[in-house]
Amino acid sequence: MTQVELARQLGMRPGPVNCIEKGRNLPSAKVLCRLSDVLEVSLDALFADSSVAVQATKPGAAYVAEERADYGAPQAVLARAPDEIAALPKTDLATVNRVVADFLALEDLCGAQKRAALPLNISFEPTMDGIEELAAEVRRFLGVSDAVIFDYLELLENAGLRIVFCDLSESAESIGCHDEPNGNAVIVVSRGMNTERQLFRLIYELGRIYCFTQMKHIELGEATRCGRNIAGKKLTPHRMARVFAGFFLQPAAAVRATVRQLKVGRSDWTYALLLRLKHRFGVSAETFLYRLKELRLIDGKLAKSLQAELYAEYRKTEFAEPNSTRRLLTPNGRLGDLLLLAEERAGDDIEVGSIRKRLKKAGVGEGL
């Protein structure tokens, strides 16, 4: 029985049930009686030593309250294959588990809308053309089509997606979780990267979730055989998500329109112009240059020359974008709003105070 199902049968919200399970709050006598009925165990069993297994009065009636094996928080599972989850650092998995649980608990405490306005289960063909069409369809659902958007973070949060910037290791960078019961997701991004990288990883995780919802019942080998090669490599979910992010952030029509309006010919590009225009799309200069080459909007030899100049700059700045073209994000906006609302409504509630402390410990400082 999932925690959500248990809460439903108890007539409670999942957040308070989670607090009872973790020992933060004590259940009332009324709740204890309902627990006894729903779990089909005696009241004495509910007070038994936690190290002793609880025997249900009927076969199959036991509810096991424990951390999930895949480290997903209640209602949300990692949008990764089992072998990918096994390769992630345990500290990152534990951080994501706590952050996701606290985000969902705050929604319960505030009575906030849980379902996202953006559908996360969209069919697509696992090919380059299919991924480009998926990116275009997602943008249409968001109401932006091929428009150039400066703040994708606000756009996605306004659509109801849960986005958290916190401390993750360099090997993780970002982790996405799919909340199937509520048609939503939680995307956790490392705060230790430059803004362009954070934005790319945010959209990358959105792409991983679309791959996850469409392919979780399909063998990876079977799915990738449908894909067109990228530089001789098969379209795995990881590569599909990268391609999705590139298409989503730089729609072909928008890039072509920008170049056409300025009447920039294939041999007219300069280093300064490259930096100025890439800033409009919120991507790194390297990513924008790659897109120009892909769309045949820049001469090949000129692209190599600009790439060499760009890499010389990157080596000086440890791959940070030039100062004048760096994006700024306002992280943890929706999470900060929920926390403030919960604090105003709950006053000195121990649960809300504990959530704030745990979030700060996880590096979720900005925006709170």
In a domain, 310, yes or no: yes
- The verdict on 87 and 201 lying in the same domain is yes
Query: How many whole angstroms separate alpha carbon 250 and alpha carbon 99?
Result: 30
- Show Cβ contacts of residue 134 under 8 Å, excluding neighbours closer than 6 positions: 122, 124, 210, 244
Q: Contact at 8 Å (CB) between 310 and 271? A: yes
- The verdict on 42 and 3 lying in the same domain is yes
- The verdict on 141 and 171 lying in the same domain is yes
- The verdict on 61 and 76 lying in the same domain is no
Residue 12, amino acid = M
Q: How many helices (H) and strands (E) does the chain have?
A: 17, 4
CATH number of the domain encompassing residue 43: 1.10.260
pTM for this model (two decimals): 0.75
DSSP secondary-structure letter at 233?
A: B
In a domain, 254, yes or no: no
Tell me what pLDDT residue 53 has: 42
Query: How many whole angstroms separate alpha carbon 57 and alpha carbon 40?
Result: 6
In a domain, 212, yes or no: yes
Residue 156, amino acid = L
**The last residue of a domain, from among 50, 66, 82:** 66
Q: Contact at 8 Å (CB) between 269 and 301? A: no
Give the H/E segment covering residue 358. helix 350-361
- The verdict on 165 and 282 lying in the same domain is no
CA trace torsion 221, 222, 225, 226 (10° rounding):
-140
Tell me what pLDDT residue 75 has: 60
The CA-to-CA distance between both ends of the chain, in Å, stands at 34
Tell me what pLDDT residue 141 has: 95
Query: What interhelical angle do 285-294 and 252-262 show, nearest 10?
Result: 90
- The verdict on 30 and 122 lying in the same domain is no
- The verdict on 27 and 109 lying in the same domain is no
Q: Contact at 8 Å (CB) between 299 and 266? A: yes
| Number of domains, the chain | 3
Q: What's the domain range around 47?
A: 1-66
- The verdict on 229 and 180 lying in the same domain is yes
**The last residue of a domain, from among 66, 96, 115:** 66
DSSP secondary-structure letter at 230?
A: B
In a domain, 330, yes or no: no
Tell me what pLDDT residue 211 has: 93
In a domain, 90, yes or no: yes
Tell me what pLDDT residue 217 has: 47
Query: How many whole angstroms separate alpha carbon 106 and alpha carbon 337?
Result: 10
**The last residue of a domain, from among 66, 91, 119:** 66
Pairing, β 174-179 against β 77-78: antiparallel
Averaged in consecutive runs of 10 residues, what is the pLDDT profile of the chain (368 residues)?
77 80 77 83 66 42 37 67 89 90 88 91 89 95 90 92 94 92 93 89 96 68 46 79 94 94 94 89 89 94 94 82 65 89 77 86 80
In a domain, 349, yes or no: yes
Residue 35, amino acid = L
- The verdict on 211 and 234 lying in the same domain is yes
- The verdict on 342 and 368 lying in the same domain is yes
In a domain, 118, yes or no: yes
- Show Cβ contacts of residue 214 under 8 Å, excluding neighbours closer than 6 positions: 121, 122, 123, 124
- The verdict on 48 and 115 lying in the same domain is no
In a domain, 305, yes or no: yes
- The verdict on 136 and 233 lying in the same domain is yes
Neighbours of 27 (CB within 10 A): 18
